[in-house]
Amino acid sequence: MELGLKGKKAIITGGSRGIGLHTGMLLAQEGCCIAFCARGQPEIDAAIDKIGGQGNGTVVGFQADLEDGDATRAFVSKAIEALGGVDILVHNASGFDMSGDEAGWMRSFQVDMMAGVRVVEESLEHLKQSESASITFVGSMASKFHFGRPPSSYGAAKGAMRVYANELAQAHGKHGIRANVISPGAVWFEGGSWDQRKIENPKFYASVEKGIPLGRLGTADEIARAIAFVASPAGIWINAAHIAADGGQVASVD
């Protein structure tokens, strides 16, 4: 199947490792030009090489902390200038905060939710000019399932993101803009949060692995494939949707 991604312009938040990096690599392979942000400059430089190695399109990476509203908006504006527009917006970065303290709530609100609002607001007029505009939020199954952790901001922020995505889809469908949320379950990649848990608590990691019907954690590339399809012109009829990409980890019907 042809995804129709050739020549499309994609902006990704948090593109220097994990799911964001693999999404950039896959979209570049499919012919997209990519602009992404992260905080760490050495990882940004390495990711530009990795993403750039997948295709022939423009690849740019900018340093920006998504907890900072002005820096977030400046990133999007530089990204749009570098790409000459935007067709695909992927809000992937997360505050990943499960501390439950006030600073954690603020971090999740700023990075998972408000950075999503800011990147959408900054790109909206440009998305309206695209023939195949899509906004994809990377959520989490923590927005629908209790994983036994103490209460924290992580799942709540991802839940708010789902409501916002639906509102965007309802409001901007008339402009040809779709909005969806893809929620991964547990995903392993070297240096990622589940790699850390595997090292720190191998028994717990093994129990999670055993609980997933396919007998393993997902990979960043597997999540990237779901994102690429939903964000692509081939995924045109997927709109206002929340899609689980968890290998059946959450044992529920919907």
Pattern 142-181, ligand NAP, x by CB under 6 A: ----------------------------------------
Pattern 192-211, ligand NAP, x by CB under 6 A: xxx-----------------
**Ramachandran angles phi, psi of 224, nearest 5°:** -60, -40
Please report, for residues 30, 168, 194, the alpha-carbon distance to residue 37 in angstroms, rounded to integers and kept in the order given. Answer: 20, 23, 22
| 79/132 with CB nearer ligand NAP | 79
What the block records as the tokens of 89 is 């917006």
Q: How many Cα atoms sit within 13 Å of 16 on the Cβ side? A: 17
Burial class (CB in 10 A: 0-12, 13-18, 19+), 219: middle
User: Contact with ligand NAP (CB under 6 A): which of 187, 227, 230, 244?
Assistant: 187
Assess 14 for contact with ligand NAP (CB under 6 A). yes
Assess 242 for contact with ligand NAP (CB under 6 A). no
Q: Which one of the spans 65-73, 78-86, 121-129, 169-177 is the region binding ligand NAP (CB under 6 A)?
A: 65-73
Residue 47 · residue 15 · CB < 8 Å: yes
By CB under 6 A, the count of residues binding ligand NAP is 29
Assess 27 for contact with ligand NAP (CB under 6 A). no
Assess 78 for contact with ligand NAP (CB under 6 A). no
Contacts of 12 (CB under 8 A, 6+ apart): 20, 23, 24, 27, 34, 35, 36, 37, 90, 92
Q: Which residues bind ligand NAP (CB under 6 A)?
A: 14-20, 37-40, 43, 64-67, 92-94, 96, 111, 138, 140, 184, 186-187, 192-194
